[in-house]
Structure 1
Amino acid sequence: MKPDLREALRRGVLVGDGAMGTYLYQMGFPVGISYEELNLLKPDVIREIHRRYYEAGARLIETNTFSANRERLSKFGLEGEVEAINRAGVELARQAVGEDAYVVGAVGSIRAGKRKSVRTAKIKEDLGQQIAVLIDAKVDGLLLETFYDLEEMLLVLKLIRKQSDVPVICQFATEGAGATMDGFPLKEAFEKLLAAGADVVGFNCRSGPNGLLRSLEHVAGLPDAPPLSVFPNAGLADYVDGRYTFAATPQYFGETARRFVDQGARIVGGCCGTTPEHVAAIAASLNGYAPQPNAASLTAQASAPVAVAEPQPLTSIAGSVSGTVQTVPNIVDLVKERVTVIVELDPPRDLDIAKFMAGAEALKAVGADALTMADNSLAVTRMSNMALGSLVQEQVGIRPLIHIACRDRNMIGTQSHMMGLHALDIDHVLAVTGDPAKFGDLPGSSSVYDLTSFEIIRMIKQLNEGVAFSGKPLKKRANFVVGAAFNPNVKHLDKAVQRLERKIEAGADYIMTQPVYDAKLIENIRQSTKHLDVPIFIGIAPLASGGNAEFLHNEVPGVLLSDEVRSRMSGLKGEEGRAMGVQIAKELLDVALEHFNGIYLMTPFMAYEMTVDLTRYVWEKSGRGDYHLSPLAK
């Protein structure tokens, strides 16, 4: 007879299972149905998924009941099936696994991070009903997962403790920040949950391993060292041709599993995008592994702020060059004449634009030809790139190049946005699909995707004909120069080029690539695209640290680092990491400049001194003598 779940966690580490919803999606079940209803409609499928996870090594199995409460099921007309779906969920999990596995009832949040009014009484009633059924079905524990607010989590935990002493695991969804969505520091939130009767506290969803490692650092030093649990996503989600995909490999999950255990995790599994292969890698890595409490934790350099010296004020540049942008040839004409540099600078996540504007001025001073701004990249809320684009154009005198994501706006909003850009004389844009909202900092938001990246290119170019999206005349013609994104970090480059050709057919005027970290790939891109008649800007993103390198390689869709680059960055951080990142970028630029006139530099974590250095290096290597640097940039 297996020990109680609490005792099992005192003895060692349990491997959790992986995703249910995204795994069903990969198997062909569409978004928009109740996956929990499959407990009744497709019991063999659900049973088989549990079996696969068990055979992969999982010994903590979640029931397929995450959204099996009356509020969530009512959207499908299933509010009367709460008991049947939950009982079936427990039974199917039991049937699929051996006696040595723990079956825990999965219970999801009703509020789900949405700032809408959900009455406390409604939560008590609906989740209370579900919990009562799961307890009566004799689960080995309850798993409260993907909660965003401490208030709701405490409410549900207290409901459970009024009914039962069943082991309870409480998990917040987090992107690596230090607080819950309702403003409680994570360490304080965990302390309150433990005091209210939680047995295990932890994290799941929203972030890949890198983000959850950061989250664990925020809760270091909890009294009495309670067992922690982590169920990371398989990196960040990508949305390509109407399908969601995830970047993180099983091998990466195996490598990070031990770091989780060293930081106190006693349950390690997977969330969105993970599969039995990810779980098998975790199980293999942890087999016989003893936690190393004194092991140095991997600080998440991927999002830690980078300390850089502030430049001297550049007020002599701001304003004095206002209006000169319009006299410069557009990017397409310019890159046909000479080497041209576009630099990306992310809009801030807060209301302070001082450092952003200082970065824009420094890049203008060193001769960057355009400043490009993403549109809430990685689905994380940032300041409007339209507003910042107008500011840098008017106050700094550098050309703004604005990303337009299909994710955030329907066709009405997209056309309105483009008309606003036209009114501001911002005419250079990059059309992108946009990362799915579900995996950003406001997961309750909807991804719109009225338009594909191909369609949005065509529609923007239609404005240049003086025709609205609706087909009505606009009285004037716009003059947008439209770019398209290209990901060459794929197994079959020829297929990626075919997709790129479709974007050019749709009207793309120029191409900007994802960052490339392999000199040979740069040469292959040239050979594979030399038949195209539009310019290509090769993406070069200097790395800030070894942690940053591993995060990009393993968790960010469309980014792939060579083994050599990862080896050179391994273990580096701080100034040493940034110096090596710049050196590697310069070596890549040496190759890129042999084949392309277009260079696209991406600034990491607002460390614009890195891209200032690289812009200056481009001019030195290209022998450009027609630009005299500002004294402040020398």
Structure 2
Amino acid sequence: MANLLERLSQRLLLGDGALGTYLYSLGLPRRYCLEEANLSRPDLVRRAHADYREAGSGLLRTNTTGANRASLGRFGLEERVGEINRRGVELAREAAGQGECFLAGSVGPVWLRAWEGNLSPEERRSLYREQITALLEAGCDVILLETFTELLEATLALSVAQEVGAPLVAVSLAVFEEGRLGNGDTLASGIASLRQSSARIVGIGASCGILASLHLLEGIELHAGEFLCAFPNAGKPEFYEGRLTYSASPEYFAASVERFVEEGVHLLGGDYGTSPRHIAAMAPELARLRPRREKPRRLRLPVVEVAREAEPPKIEEESLVDRCKRKPVAMVELDSPRTLSMDKFLEGVRALEKAGADALTLADNSLAILRVSNLAAAVAAQRCARLQTVLHLACRDRNLLGLQSELMGLSVLGFRHVLALTGDPAKAGDHPGATSVYDLNSLGLIKLIAKLNAGVSAAGRDLKAKTNFVVGCAFNPNSVQFDSQVRKLESKIAAGAQYTMTQPVFDAELVRKSAERLKPLGIPVFVGIMPVLNFRNAEFLHNEVPGISIPEGLRERLRYLDGPKATEVGLEAARALAEAVLERFGGIYLITPFTRYDLSVRLLEELF
């Protein structure tokens, strides 16, 4: 068999389509580990490969895109990485039959869910090394790194493939219509960088349809000895009767073949929604064409900006981080209502402002208990008071799309201060049938906000402006693993956190320890202070609320007290702790229990 690069330099090559979506159409159950089908349903995988081969594919991608230890571990298959990858190559080879047909060992990025933590670069290298080695040992002609949205991740996987001796590596980047990768780099700069790292075949795939792919390829240069690949989707998916369907017809794919060749593509196939019928329609069109060896980048005429009347400059509120540098800052948490009655909440807002609070902080359905949206509550509060607002934002209820939309909305409305949280699990709240999303965790959310502050979305889209969020994060000093919590805080600061708010503290020694360990980190620390109301309240917080620990001495003082007397003891303890906090830190975070804003008002009046 001729070398793949020699083949591409002389003739165009037709790839295959979306193996996954086609397998589902053949009867593979949804919510099934796609790669595990290599072992449990080899008949379906073999048939899918054979159908693409019969349609005219000269390159088959193995059913191994997500067959790394991290992804397979979600299905209890982490010890079968080598077996699944080797079997994937065998099934593709069996389907290839006689004649010239190349096998591409498909490797996708290592995706981790929010609750699965983070992996170091060396840990990720180990995952790629294990998978790629198995594919090479099984006899792949090329390692195809596909569906990579992050250039750093693609470059890391490329270096691993080269280290383990891959004879040829191809990379397809997944960029959307805006033509930017997750870090904001353009497709053109990403491809140039991969070429410098010795990727011989580079291109685009698994992200957008035909027209968008062609549009993006217009900006890619091609020189002698360079090769481009393209695997466009069959249009946008539509969800109908429990299935995703794609509208782009085989005829539409066939009509686009010549344009892809004009843009310098040597290896052309399809991705999501692309069936063997699409490949069969493309085959005769590709057979009559010859590869283009060089192509300049197509330049577009500059857009002429129409002069606009200058808008008056916006007056931006002083950040709490800056305010801490000149005075002690009092931040007060007041929960939005659990009903549609807003009167008591707004009374509390007005009272807190009058008592001297600097900022109002609003939780995002804390403890997964349903409340009025904190954004709506913040807007209502601004109508009756001039307090700054710190909005908590949890990853529990919104996917990556929803989080970005929410943040963009906050920015448009002028809110700057955000506390990035993972969020309490939905099943622990008052709607146990609800599900948690967790596309991101708090660290991922901080990184996302940093991107928005740089003016790009998670997908790399230019937002035409930059958000200006002041990003906060949580810290739990009550944890038995205090040092581990400090390390987590350090990673959040490295990701872009500018201040931290702690869980409520009930121990003066813990205040001292927190000051000793956290002040050197160089960001404002708002230590949480919450008065307990009575013994029952103290027992509940200590035993049933995650992240809260109340000393036995305080609980014993409250055991035989009730009513106002118990509340006074709780207030006295909170006041003493607050004074200890203000001696060591530039701010304080008062947490109002059960909307008893009168207690926060008293603390404010006595402390400031």
TM-score if structure 1 supplies the norm length?
A: 0.48
Whichever of the two has the greater Rg, that structure is: 2
When normalised by structure 2's length, the TM-score is 0.49
